[in-house]
Each structure stands twice: as structure tokens, then as C-alpha cells.
Structure 1
Amino acid sequence: MVNCRKILELYFEGVSQRTISSSTGHSRNTVSEVVQRSKKLHLENLNDTMTNQWLEELLFPEKQAIEKGYFPVDWEKVHKELQKKNVTLTLLHHEYAAEARETGKIPYAYRTFAEKYGKYAKKYKLTMPIRRKPGEIIEVDWAGSTLEIIDRSSGEILPAYIFTATLPYSQFSYVEAFLDMKSANWLTAHINAFEYFGGVSETLVPDNLKTGVTKTLRDELLLNEAYRELADFYHTVIVPTRVRKPKDKPSVEGTVGYISRQIIASLRNYQCFHIEDLNRQIFKKLEEINTIDFQKRPGSRKKVFEEEEKSYLQQLPQTRYKLTEWKTAKVQLNYHIQVELMYYSVPYDYVRESVDVRLTTDLIEVYFNEARIASHKRLKGEMGQFSTNTDHMPDNHRLYLEHNPDNNRKWAEEVGPYMTQFVSYILEMNVEKKALTILSSLRNLSTKYTQKELEKATQTLLEIATNPTVSVLKGILKRKKKKTQNRKIDIDNHQTNNDNYGFVRGAEYFGRVNK
């Protein structure tokens, strides 16, 4: 009989396989096979219940069948096949029996086959207790059960969701109730737990919930951006559990069950009208849980935490983390994005592009390909408000937006007092929309005439007209321009005539030039 226990004890102590072979009297191939099979079954430690016979049945199940003349069964293969969809133990026994008859061996009866698989599965699913290091991990989760809050105004019963965080080494825990399980409350719960513990662990172990993990890929998990930022701020690492693997975080799973019995069940009949009131009751119960003595070992959760674990936690940053939330949005044709029924502008070049939006309590930042392209103060109050930066607008849109009475008055003041008087007259004598249309035509004249010309023409207009209009002003400007042009032509002609002495042919023509 192979001494499997002795081989594994020496191997786990770091003894080489050659030395184990010499010490136990088994061949090196036998030692190697025992070690390899233990690795295949993820056996990394031994306890008192793992006798040599137990280990041999676990590592070499086929020998039990061979010794009695039955066709051996690969129980590991059976176990893996059963995990596939629509595969049953009856089907696997039928295939096993057919294979045994083909080789001329005796198959187990179905009842014996099922019993032996049950024994193997029981051994296969054994869990190994892992002693966590102090300050190494904080396990976090939402409890499956909820409490209730009564809405004073409507009498409606609202569910209160229970967040739990546990340090596996000391089992010291934090519990808090929230009205929903959205990202903001998920992050707030973590911050409050860190402050309750007075530090942060090296690793956070949450479930694969949507507030923590955006997408689960085959080889990696895409974390929620706000959750990742929180981890970076507190210098910790997030390692989500595998999908449907509660044993990856057994401490918090156990705490959730304990809390369900000690807190949720005890407060099930407590009438509460506000979340703060409910949390006060929860904190009282939590203090009892953390300070009560253990049944099977000395001390309490709080005592073990303060004496053995707290010093291993990383210190909290000097400033508190500001809550952030990340969303995606598409830039509309009006170069605005919609966030929580509010509208914020981005540069018009990004129209129809998808952008990432980072939200804090008082600020919104817009990112495209990890580059920030816009930021706004967060709008609050009535829905449907707009926050628009004129620098984000096309030139024609910006000019249209800036075309208002105040800007027109400022422009008139730059031209002169007569233009200011004329613009004021237009605004007073017409409704605003019509006045702005007239002023648009008036301001277009500044592209053809100088401010001096406009001011002088406006002076003339106000002197000669009792009902001054832009069309009359245009006429004055044209006449003045034409008159100026004619005057210039006359001056140029006069200078030309003087330079050529009019019609005088000169002395050269008559041959009187001295040679």
C-alpha cells in the first residue's frame, strides 16, 4: 500500500521527490504520480481527517474497481461531464456499461455506480480552510434580504438594501442600509466602511455585480470606471469573484447569513420612516455583533481587529474621496449631450460621437478618447435646463446668439453717439424681433463702411428725417460715397492737368530747345 499521506506531508514541507523516495521506500515514479494527482485535485494542505486510506481512495479511485475485477471508472471525467447541459448520471452509467462490455469487463450496477460517484463528489467538493493574513482583504456584498421603510407622505413601503463589508481575518464587519443599489450608494458604502475600519485593505473582493463590474470577459473583467477610480484613490486592488462562486468570498457570505439572522430578522417588525433612523438601529445591532465574544475562541471581532489587524491596514488619505459616476452619451445635432434630463454643450466637431461623462456632486466632465473636451458646473433643479459654452458653437450660431438688444447697444456705442441714438430709436419703435431684424441689416453696413462714415451718415439722417430708417441711411451712405469718389476723380484729373500744363505743347514741339 502506498503511503500517500507521508509522501504529501514531506512534499508540502518542501522536501525533494528524490529524498521522499528514499525516505518512504517508494519508487520515484510512485512519488511523482502521488504529487501530480494531488495537484490535479488542488490538494494543497492536509488535516487530521485525511488518513492514508482516505487519500488513496481520493487519488487512486480506479484501484478500488481493479482489485475486485470491475471495469474502472474515471470519476473525474464523470464529474466534469455531469456539469454539461442535459447530461445525467444515468446516461453516463449507460456509456460506462457499454464500454465495459466491449472490453470484456464487468460494469458496476447503476446503484453501485451512483453510490461510488456520491462518495467521490463528496471528497471532490471538500473545501480547505484558508487562514487570511491580517489587513489583506475586505470582502463586500449586498445582502439578499431587505428591510422596509414607510414613506410618510404616501404610506408606500420601500425596500432598504443592506450592504456588508467584512475583514476575513478578524471577522470584523460593517453594515449599512440604502434605498437602492446604484453606483453612488455602492461607492458611498465603501467609503463609510473604510472610515469605520479606520483604514483600507490591500484587496477588495466584490461580487460580479453591475455597479462594480461593467463587463465580464473570458480572461478579464472590465471594472466600472467610478469603482476603479475609488480603488486608485485608496491605493487598493479590486479582485471580483468568479461568476457564481460564493466560496471566493466565504467570510462575507457567512456574515450576510449571520446578519440576516441577527439584524434583519430582529428588525423585521420595526416601523421606520427614514433611512437614518433605520441605520441607527442597524449600528446598535452591529456594535453588539462586533463586541460579543466568540463561542469557540477567545476574544471578540472588535478585540481581534484592534489588537491584531488594524495596524496592518493602509492609512486613509487626508481628504475624503469625492463621489464620481461615469456614463456614456451621444452628442446630438445641437452639439449638446443629455445627462439626467439636463443638457450640456461640447465642441460642435464631436456631433454624433459617443463620449464618456464623469459626474461629481458639482461638476460634469466630458471625455473623448480619454481626452477632456468640455466641463460644466452641474445643473440642479428643474429638468430640461441647458448649459452652453459659446466657444462650442459654430461661428454662425454664435453670431445669432449674440444678436440681442444689449449687444447691439454696445456696438452702437463703439460707433458713436448718433448711432447709439438711432439704435435706441429702432428698439423703442419696434417689437424686439422686428427690431433685431432691422438691426441685423444695419450692422451689415459695417462690412462696407467705416465707423466714421456710419457715424457721419447717421448724424445726417437724424438731422433731415423725422422718421429715420435704415433704407434712408443706406441712400445717404451711397450718395456720400459717390460724392467722395467724384471728388477724388476731380482731384486726380486736376493734378494730371497741372503736371502736363494743360494743352500747352511746350518748347520742344516748336523746336526752340537749345542744342
Structure 2
Amino acid sequence: MIKYREILRLHAQDLSNRGIASSCGCSKNTVGFVLKRAGEMGIHWPLEKDMNDSELQGILFPEKNKSDTRRQPDVSYIHKEMAKSGVTLSLLWHEYTEECRNQREIPYSYRQFCRFYNSYATTSKATLRIKRKPGEIMEVDWAGQTASLKDNLTGEDIPAYVFVAALPCSQYAYVEAFLSMNTESWITAHLHAFQFYGGVARMIVPDNLKTGVDKPSSADPVINRTYHEMAEHYHTVVMPARVRHPKDKPNVEGAVGIISTWIIASLRNQQFFSLRELNEAIKEKLTEYNQKDFQKKSGSRHTAFLEEEKFALLPLPASMYELANWKKATVQYDYHISIDKMYYSVPYEYIKHLVDVRVTRTIIEVFFKSFRIASHMRLHGKEGQLSTFPEHMPAHHKQYVDFNRDYFLKWAEAVGLHTLTMMKGILASYKVEKQALKSCLSLTKLADQYSAARVESACKRALEYSPRPNVNSLKTILKTGQDKLQLDTSNPAIKNENQGNTHGFTRGAAYYGRKEK
């Protein structure tokens, strides 16, 4: 707009028309025309009442205001619509022109339409939605400057790495310190940022750091598997910035510089002995930073986030993502894999195959070509523990799993009373039950070799010899056929010999082929 007030003021100071035109940025003819019209209207400097340039234009050139009959766009409505996904200024201008034609009104051009909205958004609202939509992007990065902790024993300084996240639309920031920049710290920082914002942006823009991107590429970057899994859990997308292109995430880059001054540098004279103390101090400074008023706009980052961006964030899932690490392992011949010196079974069909293992705090999951083939509760404590599922075992191995104490007692009861007594005696004769089960298994195999009836008879004969016989004596009885012999109790000599023998079965001279003297 022409500076009518300045033209009148400079003319009152006897400045030439050429000088006035140079100072006000307009032509000499325009200055002459304005001064001529002011003389005709009787308007001189100083003005009788304070008027701005628009009011002076209405008095000096009323025809200009009457000629502009075009319909003013509803900038408040435009600002609300721009928050919606997929809505652009071009689409809104097209709808605006269609509505003007239907009501036989003259619309503004697209350039003027954008100027109206830009002026409204920059002066009346904290956010400008021409470049960034609310809830669309969250930019993340590590700050170049580090904070420090104090070792309470040695007094040495321990570096603390500062994570920064920013929402470009409202400039709302989140800051947290960690002792490492590893994958666990990187994922944990994202989870805490989501909780802080109370929602999730539709896109995450990180740098090409190794904890986030395995292979940077402008066309098809390879995202770290844990990072990608976390993004899937929160229904968001990771879109890394291009290599050596910090302008792809300018908001977080700017926030890093500001936060380095407002938070990290402001805490330089304080000593912290734990990460919790440092993060509490950072939280106080962060609240002050987010609630600090804008210099050229009304409101603050906090108010802009609550009023114009929080509603656009995706809701948080019902459960928080559980941090998981991915490892590779080869299935050994015993159909187990080793994770942190603990052993977990895998179906035996995958022996010598390379599998992917997802390790969380509580669960071990095994995948083969993205298909889950096994899942175990994670073992803790003494090294070398095993977690084995019978369904992972071959058929000829699986049968040994079912051979327990109850199985053998049930089998012996079905064979006979003497076999049951024999089985109980074997189980009671060993300190370790696993050793006893081997002897019990040998006893069942004798029934397969000879017969259940002969085993019952042999057990009866063995119990007559000793109250706690073993399997070897039972094998001898069956091999020599003693189970088929019946004791001749009609012979008085044998009867008296047996009655006088208090030590059980004793071999006499007849056993060695000699005659009694």
C-alpha cells in the first residue's frame, strides 16, 4: 500500500517530490497525484486526527474501496481445514472460487488467496500450516553438546547424551538425557517422547545414525529392525533425512541449538550424581522453554501444541512397545539354540538352519523366513539351563520324555504285584531319580524281550532272594530260567535248610556239583 502519511509528512518538511518518491518507494507521479488530491480535499500535515494509510486512502480515493467488490476468503475456516490430512491451499482455493461463482461473486486470485491466509496465520496463530501440518511429523536427533554427571567415588565427569524431539508445526519439544547412544537408549527415548506428547506423529524423521538406519539410501533406506518394529507397533513410519541434508529436519536442528543454550548450557554450573537428578533438572528447564512466549507471534509452544496440534496426533496403543533385540543363531544337532548361554528348543526339522531370534526381557521368539516357529519364556539365573518342548523333538526322542516315575509305577501295577514291589524298590534305591528311571526303563525292556508273565515270576523269585534286588539279578534269573523253576518244599532236608538259613539264598555244595559229606 502507498505510504500516504509519510508522503504528507515529508511534503510538509519541504522535501522535493523526487526525494519523497525515493524515500517512500513509489514513483514521482504517484507522489504528485497524492499531493494534488490532498490539496483538493483540504488535508494537510499534521492531520487533525490520527489515521492510518487505509483510512487516508478511503478519504483521498474512495473509488478504490468501492471498486473492490471481491469476496473475502474465510481465513479462520481455511486454517481449520489445513489441519486435515490431504487438504492443500490449492484445493481450498478451488472450492472458494466454485462457491463464489455459484453466488455470482468475484473471487480473489490464488496468489492473493494465499497472501490472506499467510497474513492471518503469521499474525493471529502460532502455527503456519502451509509447510507443516499438525501431527504429521516428529523430528528426532541427538544433541551435539553433551551434559555431564559426576562420579561420586572418583569425581570424574561422565558424559550424558541428550535426545531431542520436536513437532515442526507447533515447535513443541521433548528432551531427555541418556548414558549411551545405543539402540536401547534410542528406542526408549522415542517411547518416552510419545508418552510426553500423549500421541504419535504419522511420520518420524531421524538422522542416518546406525541405531536407526542400517543402510542409508535416498531411494530405499534399510531401517534398523528393532526401530522398524517399534514404528509398526505405534502405526507410524520412519523416513530418514537424506545424508548430509540437515534441512530435511530443520526444526529439530534449530531446537538442538536453542536447547543447547537454554537447557544444557544453563545447567553447566550444577553437579548431578545420577541420571535421574539430571533429567529432573532438564524437565524443569524444558517446561520453561516450551512455555516461553514467541517473539513475533502470540502464545507459546505449549499453547500452540494444546490448541492446534495435539488433536491431530495418532492415539497411543493399548500397551507400550516392549524393547526387543534381534539376533541370528544356527539350530544345533540337539535342536536347540544358544541365547546368552541359555538353550531353547526349536522344531528338529530346522537343524543347521539359520534363524532370527527376537529377544525381550521376558520372551524368546524364533523366526525362520519371517515365520515364527518357536516361543519360550526367557530363562534367568544360572547359565546352561534348558527350555525344551516335547513337540520339538523327533518321535524316537519324544518317548523318553514321557518316561517318568508315574509312568513306570503304572506299568508295573499292570504287570503284577511283585513287579510293582520291584519297581518301587528300584526307585527308592537311587538318590537321583533320573538314574533310577534308567533302571526302570531296563526293567520294561525285559518284559519286551521275555514276557510280562516271566518278568512277574522273576520279580517274585528275586524278592525271595533279597528284599531289594536290582535289575542285573533279574536279568540273571531270566537268562538262566530260574523263574520257571519251583522250589521243592516237600524235601525235608531242603525245607530244614531253608528254615535254618537266616541269610536268604545261600549256595551249597550241590550248586558247585559236589556231594554233601
TM-score, normalised by the number of residues in structure 1? 0.61
SS at match of 2:315: coil
Deviations 1:306-346 (A, max 9, x none): 22222222222333333333322222344322323433221
Counterpart for residue 147 of structure 1? 147
In 1, distance between residues paired with 2:202 and 2:147? Answer: 31
Find the counterpart in structure 1 of residue 31 from structure 2. Answer: none
Query: Which residue in 1 is equivalent to 2:164?
Result: 164
CA contact (8 A) 2:217 2:242 kept: no
User: Cα deviation per residue 1:350-398 (whole Å; 9 max; x = unaligned)?
Assistant: 2222211123331111111111111111123344433233433345655
Residue number in structure 2 paired with 1:351: 351
Structure 2 stretches lacking a partner, 5+ long: 1-88, 92-113, 116-128, 486-517
In the alignment, structure 1 residue 275 sits paired with structure 2 residue 275 = yes
Shift of 1:222: 1.9
What displacement does 1:439 show? 4.3
Q: For structure 1, which segment, 202-211 or 432-441, has the greater mean C-alpha deviation from structure 2 after superposition?
A: 432-441
The reply to whether residue 237 of structure 1 matches residue 250 of structure 2 is no
Matched, 1:448 2:449: yes
Matched, 1:462 2:483: no
Instruction: Name the structure 2 match of 1:42.
Output: none
Counterpart AA for 1:377: M
**Which position in structure 2 is the counterpart of 1:194?**
194
Which deviations, in whole Å up to 9, do the C-alpha atoms of 1:263-283 show, x marking residues without a partner? 112223432222222111110
Provide the C-alpha distance between the structure 2 equivalents of 1:151 and 1:382, rounded to a whole number of angstroms.
31
Bigger Cα displacement from structure 2, 458-467 vs 194-203: 458-467
CA contact (8 A) 2:150 2:158 kept: yes
Report deviation, 1:136.
1.4
1:235-281: per-residue Cα shift (whole Å, max 9, x none)?
22211111222111111111111111111122234322222221111
Mapping for residues 15-34 of structure 1, pairs under 5 Å = none
Aligned residues with identical type, % of pairs: 50
SS in 2 for 1:418: helix
The residue number in structure 2 matching 1:252 is 252
Q: Decide whether aligned partners of structure 1 residues 379 and 311 sit closer, same or farther in structure 2, where only a CA change above 3 A counts.
A: same
Deviations 1:419-443, CA, capped at 9 Å, x for gaps: 3432344455567587666445333
Contact 2:218 2:242 in 1 (8 A): no
Distance in 2 between residues matched to 1:452 and 1:354, nearest whole Å: 51
C-alpha displacement at 1:482, in angstroms?
10
Higher mean displacement: 472-481 or 192-201 = 472-481
Give me the CA root mean square deviation: 3.5
Which residue type is aligned with residue 361 of structure 1? R
- Which residue matches 1:508? none
1:178 corresponds in structure 2 to 178
Change (3 A) 1:205 1:446: farther
1:108-146 per-residue CA deviation (whole Å, 9 max, x = no partner) reads xxxxxxxxxxxxxxxxxxxxx973122211101122222
Give the distance between the partners of 2:372 and 2:264, measured in 1 at CA.
Answer: 45
4+ residue runs over 6 A deviation: 400-407, 479-484
Instruction: Please show how residues 6-85 of structure 1 align to structure 2 within 5 Å.
Output: none
Counterpart-to-counterpart distance in 1, 2:443 and 2:277: 67
Q: Name the counterpart of 1:510.
A: none
8 A contact 2:172–2:301 mirrored in 1: yes
- In structure 2, do the counterparts of structure 1 residues 302 and 441 end up closer, same or farther at CA, with 3 Å as the change threshold? same
Tell me, in whole angstroms, the C-alpha distance in 2 between the residues paired with 1:382 and 1:431.
23
Q: Does 1:203 align with 2:203?
A: yes
Q: CA deviation at 1:454?
A: 2.5
Query: Deviation at 1:466?
Result: 6.2
Q: Which runs of 5+ in 1 are unaligned?
A: 1-11, 15-45, 48-128, 485-515
Q: Secondary structure at the match of 1:255?
A: helix
- Of stretches 443-452 and 222-231 in structure 1, the one that deviates more from structure 2 is 443-452
Q: Could you tell me how far apart the structure 2 residues matched to 1:402 and 1:465 are? A: 30
* Matched position secondary structure for 1:144: coil
Cα separation, 1, equivalents of 2:417 and 2:397: 29
Name the stretch that deviates more: 355-364 or 146-155: 146-155
For 1:213, the equivalent position in structure 2 comes to 213
Alpha-carbon distance change, 386 to 472 in structure 1, aligned in 2, over 3 angstroms: closer
The AA in structure 1 aligned to 2:392 is: H
3-state SS in 1 of match to 2:210: coil
Distance of aligned partners of 1:441 and 1:373 in 2 relative to their CA distance in 1, 3 Å threshold: same
Aligned position for 1:318: 318
Aligned equivalent of 2:370:
370
* 1:137-173 Cα shifts (integer Å, max 9, x gaps): 1101122222223455676643322111100111110
Tell me, what secondary structure is at the counterpart of 2:266? coil
Q: What is the rounded CA distance, in whole Å, between the counterparts of 1:443 and 1:287 in structure 2?
A: 76
Distance 1:156 1:358, change over 3 A: farther
Q: Mean alpha-carbon deviation: is it higher for 280-289 or for 325-334?
A: 325-334
Residues 457, 483 of structure 2: 8 Å contact kept = no
What is the one-letter code of the residue matched to 1:193? A
**Are residues 331 and 265 of structure 1, via their aligned partners in 2, closer, same or farther at CA, if it must alter by over 3 Å?**
farther
Answer with 418-427 or 306-315: which moved more. 418-427
Counterparts of 2:354 and 2:392, CA distance in 1? 16
TM-score, normalised relative to structure 2: 0.61
Is the contact between residue 454 and residue 483 of structure 2 (CA under 8 Å) also seen in structure 1?
no
Equivalent pairs counted in the alignment come to 361
Deviation sequence 1:46-97 (CA, Å, 0-9, x none): 99xxxxxxxxxxxxxxxxxxxxxxxxxxxxxxxxxxxxxxxxxxxxxxxxxx
The amino acid across from 1:308 in the alignment is: E
**What residue is the counterpart of 2:41 in the other structure?**
none
